[in-house]
Structure 1
Amino acid sequence: MFLIDNENVPDTVSSAEVKQFRCLECDKAFPFKESLIRHAVVHSGVKNFKCDECGKRFAQKAGLTQHLLIHSGVKKFKCDKCDKQFTQKTNLTQHLLTHSGVKNFKCDECGKLFAKKNGLTQHLLSHSGVKNFECDACGKLFARKVNLTQHLLSHSGVKNFKCDECGKLFAQKCDLTKHLLTHSGVKNFMCDECGKLFAHKSDLSKHQLSHSGVKNFTCDECGKLFAQKVSLTRHLLSHSGGKNFKCDECGKLFARKFILNEHLLSHSGVKNFKCDECGKLFARKSILTEHLLSHSGVKNFECDECGKLFARKVSLTRHQLIHSGVKNFKCDECGKHFGRKSHLTRHLLNHCGGKSF
């Protein structure tokens, strides 16, 4: 198990000062044979020392003794750079590497660099595809226990990290740190498909799913498919009936705040999105995207009643009101009812001297 390498040992240096006993497993060297023998237990797989607090096992009693400091709550070793505290000096020493800026450990899979070897080792789990740690609250799986522990904070309801810019609260410091990028205006991650920019690489990765064509998340209410689970979750609000966000301009209610924000653009009069085909202007990019379908010639949405084809599902939905017989839009001038608001608007031209269509 060990190798004695005592060649070229100076006569003036005692054997205790020379690390001449080397472990063949990890190449670690020791000054005494007894130290090497004790160390060899680490590689044997035998762990006879158990922590009564959490059940974790250790090969050496010294390892257990150091571990118990974690449960004591005592943190005597403080970082001069960021005031973070540690129970063991070795943890502080490793932590200081994060402030040095030196990252010598590189992931062969994605090229990401790490200051500590254990950081790289833990990161490699993300590429393995193995996720053995499951959240009991939502079923989400994680490759590392530390990620699960951090995730559980999102279910606790406790949010101690506040953004000084907008006041938004976060359960984890890392979430606040990522959020702050949205205020910096820096967006270094660009989508090769559409050119859209993102502040976080993770947001770019999620966005790219929209271009893949893969939609694995189905709405049980209406059958609509989504590329991301978060998109499905937001969509489900439209079926809940809860519309708590009201437009002060027209009184229209919305289930999600971001939809209200998009809607408010229609009242601003600002239309920055132009159709290259016909020159028509739109207040929102999403509306322009839908409009472009009218120029594509593709009409995949067919009316079951009359067979008429439409380029957009929303157009089909509006058209189907004609067949339903429902007419909720009434003209205050003459009492005539219409199935669509746009038809009522055009009809009102009759009363103001304009030409009716």
Structure 2
Amino acid sequence: MVSTRASSRRKRFTNQSSFQRHQRIHTGEKPYQCSQCGKSFTRKYTLQTHQRIHTGKKPYQCSHCGTSFKQKAHLQTHQRIHTAEKLYQCPQCGMSFRLKHHLRGHQRIHTGEKPFICVQCGAKFSHRSNLKTHQRIHTGETPYFCSQCGKSFNRENNLRRHQRIHTGETPYFCSQCGKSFNQENNLRQHQRIHTGEKPYFCSQCGKRFNRENNLRQHQRIHTGEKPYFCSHCGKRFNRENNLRRHQRVHTGETPFICVRCGAKYTNKRSLIRHEHIHAGEKP
């Protein structure tokens, strides 16, 4: 038995390797580096899990529907779709969650707590993962790339969603109407069409929403928060899609194209207005 004293507490370990691993929390040492992207990790197992982003390997398969996952924990979470198991319930609104940390994150909707702060611009977030993703706006980092087409993403779930374009996979089925989805979140949101459920409500004005993201966007009306800002001119926005639309002013990107004449526009609204010309309508 190996032991170490930190402050007034003594932490014990069953073997020397566990003790050495623990010490890296204090030293910040990350000896295991990914040969593909250079990212470093404190544990060999974490490196091996990370490398599956590059290889696309998914060794953990669901026995119910065949969906595969890179991590065992993700498989276990997924399997609760089939069992409908939701162990953790919010005492304020009764909404249930499959994971305890999802409940904790959800409860911040009710408390308004945003403990994770961006040191670059001061934007505040209720989830650490949202802060990490936000920080890539400043760094421009897109560490997750598709092995099929090379496109890179700033979020792993965006990569997974993108990869289903290549595979055509839609593993999430609605038990009410049979419609299938490539994301679990899209399935849950769709099911609220059948139930009429609006579980997310604003503590300021009581307005209810069927999506958590819609609630967060709405709350910025009350707080005046504008967490998304343009790295070119500093202009700030309360929605990420508004920032992306604005950035086309600087980049000159015109992704909306008229199929009749090839005219290009920076936003969909301008394209729709233009299409009225072909239809003989007044815009």
Q: TM-score range by the shorter chain?
A: 0.3 to 0.5
Which gives a bigger RCO, structure 1 or 2 (Cα 8 Å, sep 6+)? 2
Which structure's CA Rg is the greater one? 1
Question: What's the TM-score, normalizing by structure 1?
Answer: 0.38
Question: What's the TM-score, normalizing by structure 2?
Answer: 0.46
